[in-house]
Amino acid sequence: MIEITHLTFDEKITNQPGWVLLQFWAPGCGPCHLLQTELRCIEQEYPTVAFLSMNAADYAKIAWSFEIMAVPGMVLFYEGVPQKTTVGYMPRERLRQWIDSALQQHTDISD
């Protein structure tokens, strides 16, 4: 999982081809750290998805622009366009379902 900032946002998300999962977190947020651990555990299962994180405390305006009002939060992008957003901790199996549903939905649309 790669940490990004406002300086690398466009390069890593807006202009990135394919899928990107961005996790918003904050220092001192226990559920954020638990979610990061879960994401790191499943990252290898999704070679077509870039896993990134951003400190929402430092970049609140960016988080808010995706309606992330609490952390942890995640946005799943395809070709730089937000596809799904969620807030709150998810255990590993639920994370897989959340990611898989977006990937499957996009596959169904493009077929």
The structural domains of the chain, ordered by start, are 2-110 (3.40.30.10)
pLDDT band at 12; cut points 50, 70, 90: very high
Cα→Cα distances 70→18, 25, 86, Å: 26, 9, 10
DSSP class per residue in 9-42: HIIIIIT--SEEEEEEE-TT-HHHHHHHHHHHHH
**43-102 residue pLDDT tens:** 999 999 999 999 999 999 999 999 999 999 999 999 999 999 999 999 999 999 999 999
Alpha carbons 11 and 32: distance in angstroms, whole number: 24
**91-103 residue pLDDT tens:** 999 999 999 999 9
Query: Is the pTM higher than 0.75?
Result: yes
pLDDT band at 108; cut points 50, 70, 90: low
